[in-house]
Amino acid sequence: MASTGHEPPRLLVAPLTRLPCEPDVVRLPLERAFGVRVEIAPLAVELKAAYSLQRNQLNSTTILKMLLSERPDGVDRVLGLVDQDLFIPILTYVFGEAQLRGVVAVASTFRLREPWEAGGTTRAVLEARLIKTALHELAHTYGLRHCMRPRCVMTVASSLEMLDEKAPSFCLQCQGELHDALVGLAP
């Protein structure tokens, strides 16, 4: 169900596993980018149903279906956060996935913690990567597609190097598309 009146839409950021950083790190960037009120609370999702024994990973599409079925009343969108490796059948791994023009997205911190040597990356780098991944995936729920501008947060990131090169913001064209999508949702 969508929000009513003049209150901002509600976005639930739902940690589904223990995370290597506080989920609150995404609150302000998401509120600013999407004009939402971010709430952070766990959601009862049984991740075992998404686990692939053959791949030792979680199927992110299955998680999206679970998030959709467990979305609380009055919550406009849900971003699930996990610290387990995600995949879709055609790719070795993904940092996240979202329903295009939908209401659910998932992001993983698992690969964002690389490099694995010496205990992983710094907290600041991990948090920056999570913010960019969260912005990217949630923008898909508003209808944005991948962008060709390398610094835009909507560009494809198939590696950490590509993710690190992105800015935590939208290019002018993607800003315009997001604005149009948000205006289209206004009551």
Q: For the chain, which residues make up each domain, given as ranges?
A: 10-185
Of the chain, the percentage scoring pLDDT greater than 70 comes to 94
Torsion of CA 43, 99, 141, 18, to 10 degrees: 30
* Structure-block tokens of residue 28: 């302000």
Query: What pLDDT, on the 0 to 100 scale, is given for residue 184?
Result: 83
* Residue 137: active-site member: yes
Query: What pLDDT, on the 0 to 100 scale, is given for residue 177?
Result: 96
How far apart are alpha carbons 14 and 23 in whole angstroms? 8
pLDDT digits (tens, 9 = 90+) for 120-172: 788 999 999 999 999 999 999 999 999 999 899 999 999 999 999 999 999 99
Query: What pLDDT, on the 0 to 100 scale, is given for residue 164?
Result: 95
pLDDT digits (tens, 9 = 90+) for 92-109: 999 999 999 999 999 999
Whether the CB-CB separation of 11 and 103 falls below 8 Å is answered with no
Query: What pLDDT, on the 0 to 100 scale, is given for residue 115?
Result: 79
Q: Which of 31, 97, 117, 137 is catalytic?
A: 137
| Band of pLDDT at residue 17, cut at 50, 70 and 90 | very high
Specify the range with the lowest mean pLDDT, choosing from 2-6, 27-31, 70-74, 129-133.
2-6
- Single-letter residue type at 173: Q
Burial (CB count <10 Å: 0-12, 13-18, 19+), residue 62: middle
pTM of the entire predicted model: 0.93
pLDDT at 182 over 80: yes
The domain 10-185 is classified under which CATH number: 3.40.390.10, 2.40.33.20, 3.30.70.890, 3.90.226.10? 3.40.390.10
User: For 67-84, what is the mean pLDDT?
Assistant: 97
User: For 50-69, what is the mean pLDDT?
Assistant: 97
